[in-house]
Each structure stands twice: as structure tokens, then as C-alpha cells.
Amino acid sequence: MNRNNLRRILIAACIVCALILSGTGAVSAANQSTFVITDFSMYPQSLMPGDSGIITVTLRNTGSTFVPVNQIFIKDSDGIKSTVTPYQNPIGGVGAGDTFTLSLPVISKGKTGTFYPVLYVDFDGNSGNYLKYPFAVIVDDKSIVISVTGRPDVFEPDTTQTVALTIGNLRMNAIEAVEISASGTGVTSKQTSLFLGTIDANKAANGTLSVSTAEETKEVTFDVRYRNGPAWHTESITIPLESGVSKTGAELIVNNIEVKNTGSSYTVIGDVNNAGLTTAKALVVTTEGVTKTGLYPSYVVGSLDEDGLSEFEVTFSNPADNKVTLVFTYKDVNGNTYTQKQEVPTTSAVTESQTSGGSNPVAAVLIVIVILVILAGGFAAWKKGKIFARK
């Protein structure tokens, strides 16, 4: 064999190898037909250990004649196996210039790394006319990260509290159907779950979940369920609770209280200040232990911001035991209702006439004394001739 013939053989061998590695099928000399892979994809892009995935491949007959297809299968590798037996005569064959698309399932054996199973398309089953296509499958154990980005300082029993969460996707592919739910002893939620949907690779999504806890609740667990391709996964984070009264809630301070007695009813006037760190919403002032009557049986303040100040006025009658209880009711941002009470004696009530000054005997006496002093001084000055000369 001369040098030129050897060179031609080596070039032909290199071309055949290149065709196989690039996904181009072998050429049948008998029917002058060639198969090539025009599209290849894997869902999801990477697997987690034990996950299953779907390989979708599109092949094209670039030849001039019909080609029968005997079987299509995936040959297992070290970390990947096929979950189906070879497809026997799956499509019959492919005509000249036609394409066909086929999906095949694979599953991870549990190892991590990059593996290379091989797709085989056997055309006649006898002469060795087949397409061989190795492909890469990545298996990694990267999952998600769950961060608590907002929570109350304490969880008051039987009240609704809001917890803010951030879900970060550490995988190289998107995760789907992301859903957050809360669980634990005595933990309830009006939301059965919070649906976030799809989170792209190396991205994050934020969400809030409102939960209510009981006296015996010691911790709350937030479960994040998601799909990596067709496989479901769940990751969780548990936060310990501190029970008690919120240190950042509204705190009402009542000052400048004045009680008036109109004869048939009483009126309490005063100032209410919010010395807390959050707004007292829907603040209403009313009374307890008396008969609500008059113009203001209840007084609506509305929203009272932190450091806010508002006047109020309530009217009532028939106080028992010479006292009245002022009742301050308000809500927080989650709709929880809080009540604060303050007892005020009615024995020091000022009557309406005393307020106007019309019948105060002490004031009347003082006025008479002042007038008499003035008159006496004037009379003395007149006698001495200092004001009007006497004739």
C-alpha cells in the first residue's frame, strides 16, 4: 500500500469518527441514506441524585430513499440508566428528507458527576447500520437556600404574625412549582400555602406567610416544595419562637383626663398618645361599666401613628361605684385586635355650672369683696377731696 492510499484511508477514518462524535449517523451504501441529529435536549438541564429526566431527540433522513428503523435505545453509563427497554420498530422508518422526534427517559443511579450514556438508533438490526450518539448528563446535589428575612421579635399566642422568606435557587437549571407551607404544634395559617412558581437558575424569589401560633408552640417549620424536572423535592427551615407581648407594637398613653357632669350624663375628655413603634390602626375609645349615651358613646380616632397624639371624648350615664372604665381598642397590620383599659373616678367630676363659672359661691364672694374695696376706696378719696372737690 503506497503512501497516498494510506493517507486517504486515514482521512476517511477521521471523517467517520467526526460524524459519529457530532451525532451524524452512519451512511448505508445500499440505500444512500444518512441520518443526522438536528435537535437534542434534556429536561431538566441537570439531575439531582435519584432524579429522572427526559431526553428528546430529533433525527433527519438526509438521504434520497426511505430507511427502516429497527430499534432505538440508550446504553447505560456508570451513573445513568435508561428506564425503558429498547423501542422495537418504533416508527417503521423515515422517508427521504423527513424528520422524527422521540423522547426517552433516563434516571440517575445516585452518584454525582458528569456521565456519558449513548443513544443508539439501529436501522436494520443486521448489517450494523446504526447511529451512535454519546451525550452528557450532569448530576449534582445542589439544592435551594431558605432565608428568613423578616419575622416578629415575639409571637403572641392566638395572633397572626407575618414571616418573610427568600428562596434562592443554587442549581444550574430552573426549579418549578415552588410552594411554601408552615407546620408545627399549634401552628395554623389562613393561607394553606404560598405559591411562588418558577425560580430561574441562580435567582431568588421572595414571599410572606402569615401564621398563628398557640401558647404551647415552641417552633415553626417552613417547608419549601419544588420540582426539578418531573421529580419533587422538599427542603425545610425551622425557627424557634419566643412567646410574649410584642416589643415593637403600639403602646397607648392617656393624659389630661377631665370628667364633666352635665346633670343627666357624664363626659370624659382626654388625650391619647401612641408611645409604641408601630401604628395603632382603627383606634376606638369607648366605656365599660356604664350606660353609653350622648353624642359620643364611642369615639373613633382612626389610625394613630407612632408618636401620634389625638384628643377623644366619650359620654355616658349611670356610672357604677363612682367610676368609669375607658376602653381603647385597636388593630395591628395583620388585623389582630388589642385592648387597653384605664379606670377613671367620677367623684371629681366638674358640673356644667362650675365649668362656666355662673354659680360658683367662692367666685361670687370674691367678686363682692373686690367691689366693696373699690367703693370704699373711692368714698375715702372723695371725702378727702382728692377726686371731686367738695362744695
Asked whether residue 243 carries a pLDDT value surpassing 70, the answer given is no
- Report the Cα 11 to chain-centroid distance in Å: 63
On whether the pTM is more than 0.85, the answer is: no
Query: How confident is the model over 27-81, as pLDDT tens digits?
Result: 333 444 578 889 999 999 999 999 999 999 998 989 888 888 888 888 888 889 8
Percent of the chain residues topping a pLDDT of 70: 78
Looking at 110, 139, 168, the residue that finishes a domain is 139
Q: Give the pLDDT confidence score for residue 219 in this predicted structure.
A: 92
Q: Give the pLDDT confidence score for residue 264 in this predicted structure.
A: 83
CA distance 343 to 322: 11
- Asked if the structure places residue 362 within a domain, the reply is no
Report the chain's mean pLDDT, rounded to a whole number: 82
Look up residue 165 and give its amino acid. L
Query: How confident is the model over 80-113, as pLDDT tens digits?
Result: 988 766 655 566 788 889 998 888 899 999 999 9
Q: Give the pLDDT confidence score for residue 78 in this predicted structure.
A: 86
Query: How confident is the model over 9-41, as pLDDT tens digits?
Result: 343 334 334 333 344 343 333 444 578 889 999
Asked whether residue 6 carries a pLDDT value surpassing 80, the answer given is no
Verify that 113 and 235 share a domain, yes or no. no
Half-sphere exposure of 336 (CA within 13 A, CB side): 21
Verify that 107 and 165 share a domain, yes or no. no
- Where is mean pLDDT largest: 231-235, 238-242, 332-336? 231-235
Verify that 232 and 133 share a domain, yes or no. no
Overall number of domains in the chain: 3
- Asked if the structure places residue 224 within a domain, the reply is yes
Contact (CB, 8 A) for 265 and 294: yes
- Asked if the structure places residue 212 within a domain, the reply is yes
Contact (CB, 8 A) for 102 and 87: yes
Q: In 3D, which of 195, 197, 203, 196 has the Cα closest to residue 173?
A: 203
- Asked if the structure places residue 166 within a domain, the reply is yes
Long-range contacts of 198-204 (CB under 8 A, 24+ apart): 198/174, 199/144, 199/167, 199/168, 199/169, 199/174, 199/175, 199/226, 200/169, 200/174, 201/169, 201/171, 201/172, 201/173, 201/174, 202/169, 202/170, 202/172, 203/168, 203/169, 204/166, 204/167, 204/168, 204/169
Q: Give the pLDDT confidence score for residue 336 in this predicted structure.
A: 81
Verify that 86 and 179 share a domain, yes or no. no
Band (pLDDT 50/70/90 cuts) for residue 269 is very high
Query: Between vectors from CA 166 to CA 165 and to CA 172, what angle results, nearest 5°?
Result: 150
Q: Give the pLDDT confidence score for residue 200 in this predicted structure.
A: 97
Q: Give the pLDDT confidence score for residue 14 in this predicted structure.
A: 40
CA distance 137 to 75: 13
Strand 252-261, strand 350-351: pairing: parallel
Strand 160-169, strand 137-139: pairing: unpaired
- Asked if the structure places residue 22 within a domain, the reply is yes
Range of the domain at 176: 144-240
